Amino acid sequence: MPITKPFMAARRFSATIADGTGVGAAFNILATATTNDAGTAATAFPTAPAYYNLFINGQIQTADTSTVTTTAITIPDGDTLDPGTPIVIEFVVN
């Protein structure tokens, strides 16, 4: 019997720190403030991704750096970063 690999794909969303709101532990970037792979405004993040990666200024971040829901990504103390800092969130879905 052949082995069937599970379907895996990536969904990427981009923004800058300036797109975020809140301060300190409550700093977040709404999904609606990001653009998707097609370059259009996103409406929500994926519902049940296998995992996600956060890149801040092109550097992958550790798991303790953020939390994510379908509506926002929370980056504690993200408001201390320069407003022009690029953010990329990559969701791996299956």
Q: How far apart are the first and last CA of the chain?
A: 22
In a domain, residue 19? The reply is yes
In a domain, residue 67? The reply is yes
In a domain, residue 77? The reply is yes
User: What is the number of structural domains in the chain?
Assistant: 1
Query: Over the range 30-47, which residues count as b (16 or more CB within 10 Å of their CB) and which as e?
Result: bbebbeeeeeeebeebbe
- Mean predicted confidence (pLDDT) in 60-74: 96
In a domain, residue 4? The reply is no
In a domain, residue 37? The reply is yes
Question: Which run of H or of E encompasses 87?
Answer: strand 86-93
- Residue 79 pLDDT more than 80? yes
Neighbours of 88 (CB within 10 A): 16
Give pLDDT, residue 88.
Answer: 98
What are 7-56's pLDDT values in tens digits? 889 999 999 999 999 999 999 999 999 999 999 999 999 999 999 999 99
In a domain, residue 3? The reply is no
**Amino acid making up residue 78:** G
- Residue 5 pLDDT more than 70? no
In a domain, residue 32? The reply is yes
| Structural domain span for residue 86 | 9-93
In a domain, residue 45? The reply is yes
- Residue 1 pLDDT more than 80? no
- Mean predicted confidence (pLDDT) in 51-66: 96
